[in-house]
Amino acid sequence: MANLLKKELLSAIEGAMEKEGISQGEVARRIGSQRYNINKVMRGKFPVTLDFLLKMAESIDLEVEMKFRKAKK
């Protein structure tokens, strides 16, 4: 479940970056990281925390909402 959430968030980040013309280097600068770390995350070659992805999303003004509901039986 956590990996699916991370993949969905990363996909949304990628889409927003592309739409806004924001580079990996710019995201890295905004969050105080290195471009190569962002590149590895985006290619799935670097273990990433949800916190790191949320920082990336925040840096490009991407609002993240979470909804909780009771599971269907």
Is there a domain that residue 72 lies in?
A: no
Is there a domain that residue 71 lies in?
A: no
Is there a domain that residue 45 lies in?
A: yes
Is there a domain that residue 68 lies in?
A: no
List the domain range (segments joined by +) for residue 30: 2-59
Is there a domain that residue 35 lies in?
A: yes
Is there a domain that residue 64 lies in?
A: no
CATH number at residue 6: 1.10.260
Q: How many domains does the chain have?
A: 1
The distance in angstroms from the start CA to the end CA of the chain is: 17
pTM reported for the whole predicted model:
0.85
pLDDT one digit per residue (tens) for the chain, 73 residues: 678 888 999 999 999 999 999 999 999 999 999 999 999 999 988 889 999 999 999 999 999 888 888 888 7
Is there a domain that residue 12 lies in?
A: yes
Is there a domain that residue 18 lies in?
A: yes
